[in-house]
Structure 1
């Protein structure tokens, strides 16, 4: 114990991992942060291993993936682990962000950790999209064609940016080279942002379910919460193993197990499931530029939460109207995910527009209005006492 206190490096690690003071009433919803760290480590380990066998040439990419699956020792396990960890990464990310929204963990003094978390989420989506393209199956080809072509909606420079990303006039070998280089580098950028996020959180301290100050009752990270994290990690790895060993293709699209063919257009071009809510907002707009702006704004609008939430009480534990509103928001987000994979036809088009309107209204209209109204209720209640 004395050594870890005297050495500067060990002392810093000790203050973050072992002796870090945490609120005494944290529940299991606070464990998604450690699960996200586990997912990042798994992705880095499996990704670097896959890189040793992958070829980023357009005529060899799909065959190199099949070579991993069939000829490389335990290549099937590494590939399936990498693909399924990406899905579990987003599951934990959505749960982590949902917990932050419900408990108001984005409010002062945790505005900086929340803002950095939104940036991590945006980087994660970009990294996952580029990794999906590298398989160069049928859905990868057309997904890259559609998503990259959205940038052509930008005034003046849109077409030039698309051609730069593609390296030509269509998705091909230069596209894979660019995406492969970026997909390999961006996880390390994510790791740096994750460390900065942890440092910002360490400075501000963790929130708690009650939304009150916890300075009067804190526990050290180890052994209380480190053991609690191990329990959720064990449950996570158990569920993860069920997918990898028994149903590894459940979360993937079947068309992506066919080689890319630019002469055959799939009946329905959809991204991976974790991008479907934002894809539904994209398709809900009547024009391409509006769709691109809606999709990007749907992510960046998370940054305004500390400004639009005017509640004097952090979190929704004691606010029934906010609880109900958050429930509607979650159902709306799940419905957007369903609408992102259906054909654009009545009534799905109108329903997608209504869900998109509710999504933005939650941040810009409903949350400020409800938080202001609940402040009045709390004020009136305090006067009666």
Structure 2
């Protein structure tokens, strides 16, 4: 802990004192999320998304474990077992819809969490490891979600597995063996379903383990804040509990309301109707699309339509798709500006909102039918995405003139000391 003024935990109840001496879980909780963990006093509701992501993961694990008790990972019965869950298992429809829509809510929260980090510079020193572990969590989420989408074994599940795993075959030399290893054969079949089911069940627990590392890494430098100014003393902080547990509780309430509205009133709004048709290897869907949270990267993949420098268009698309995510790993070293918060970076702030619009446009283009106009727009948006990170960010880091920073978090909240003293005297 880098806050020497953090309160020392001393249990008062004899039972808690006995436990703390032998297994210091009470002390761990106290210093991790309790009154013993001081946080900046100016955190806004954008700092709720970490707690909401944890709640979404818990929903996924609980519903997923119960669904696994009724699911059969065999191509001959997988679709029927999914329908059995929906029709015959007590509250099975609720569990499946909660799991499917919980994945969407999880991604919504994580995307907002990522963009909050981009806006407030939470990837900058000394929080590089927090950011890197967050990107690892994002990659694990994408792998888990893809494998889960295959399990119902509907038309979109089968052809999604066929198309997405087929991208690996574009990699020279090792692509073919990787493709065969992923599928367990030369086409999606029983082996594919079994290994995807096993990994889909396992990966959420790995995500939970990486989240523990993520939180651990966060507790070393402490939380960033909207000003990006470092904490300078106890006057800049408040205890996490009860101030931010109450704030997170309010955010969790709103999250559950939105989740319930989606779950009970529009459970299939974010799904694809073709996935209610049993998988048929002999009938290709008219329009194959992944789940909505993959669409921006899918649009980047589709934007490459011709060979270039002797490299096949498919390989360019695969490299660009994975490169769009891997770029985030290097962001702490791409952006060399010493100022964290976009509130004090006028040029960066405008570019940030352009990036948001660009990603939203890529998401729309990812699900649009392929036409010359859609391809052209996808190429322009993909081009801006890479330009933003590889050219614009390093450039403005050097030329941008930031706005004046407050001297401390307390000054940003209460105003300059002279103004505070004058207000106190007047009161």
Aligned length: 379
Distance 1:120 1:376 in 2: 32
Tell me the equivalent position of 2:27.
11
Distance 2:88 2:207 in 1: 31
SS for the counterpart of 1:352 is helix
Q: What's the offset of the Cα at 1:376?
A: 8.0
> Which is further off, 347-356 or 82-91?
347-356
Q: Choose from 226, 246, 256 the match for 1:227.
A: 246
Tell me the equivalent position of 1:60.
77
> Which is further off, 74-83 or 365-374?
365-374
Deviation digits for residues 171-203 of structure 1, max 9, x if unmatched?
111110010011011111000000000000011
Q: Choose from 162, 176, 179 the match for 1:145.
A: 162
What pairs with 1:172-251 in structure 2 (closer than 5 Å)? 172-216=189-233, 217-251=236-270
Distance 2:352 2:375 in 1: 24
Q: Are 2:12 and 1:2 aligned? A: yes
Query: What are the ranges of 5 or more consecutive residues in structure 2 without an aligned counterpart?
Result: 1-10, 306-312, 406-427
Query: What are the ranges of 5 or more consecutive residues in structure 1 without an aligned counterpart?
Result: 380-385
Distance 1:35 1:83 in 2: 17
Q: Are 2:286 and 1:260 aligned? A: no
Distance 1:188 1:329 in 2: 32
Q: What's the offset of the Cα at 1:41?
A: 0.6
Contact 2:157–2:279 (Cα < 8 Å) also in 1: yes
Contact 1:311–1:375 (Cα < 8 Å) also in 2: no
SS for the counterpart of 1:292 is helix
Tell me the equivalent position of 2:118.
101
Contact 2:52–2:252 (Cα < 8 Å) also in 1: yes
Contact 2:346–2:402 (Cα < 8 Å) also in 1: no
Tell me the equivalent position of 1:383.
none
Contact 2:339–2:402 (Cα < 8 Å) also in 1: no
Q: Choose from 96, 111, 124 the match for 2:128.
A: 111
What pairs with 1:230-309 in structure 2 (closer than 5 Å)? 230-286=249-305, 287-309=313-335
Tell me the equivalent position of 1:159.
176
> Which is further off, 285-294 or 113-122?
285-294
Contact 1:138–1:260 (Cα < 8 Å) also in 2: yes
Moved over 6 A (4+): 376-379
Distance 2:285 2:218 in 1: 45
Distance 2:250 2:317 in 1: 42
Is the alpha carbon distance of 1:324 and 1:152 closer, same or farther for their aligned partners in structure 2, counting shifts above 3 Å?
Answer: same
Tell me the equivalent position of 1:325.
351
Q: What's the offset of the Cα at 1:47?
A: 0.2
Contact 1:312–1:375 (Cα < 8 Å) also in 2: no
> Which is further off, 27-36 or 169-178?
169-178
SS for the counterpart of 2:220 is helix
SS for the counterpart of 1:22 is strand
Q: What's the offset of the Cα at 1:214?
A: 2.2
Distance 2:177 2:112 in 1: 38
Q: Are 2:187 and 1:170 aligned? A: yes
Contact 1:46–1:79 (Cα < 8 Å) also in 2: yes
Deviation digits for residues 311-355 of structure 1, max 9, x if unmatched?
121110112211110010000000000010112211111111111
Q: What's the offset of the Cα at 1:115?
A: 0.4
Distance 1:206 1:312 in 2: 17
CA RMSD for the aligned pairs? Answer: 1.4
> Which is further off, 83-92 or 168-177?
168-177
Q: What's the offset of the Cα at 1:215?
A: 3.4
Distance 2:365 2:250 in 1: 35
TM-score between the two structures when normalised by the length of structure 2 = 0.87
Contact 1:32–1:93 (Cα < 8 Å) also in 2: yes
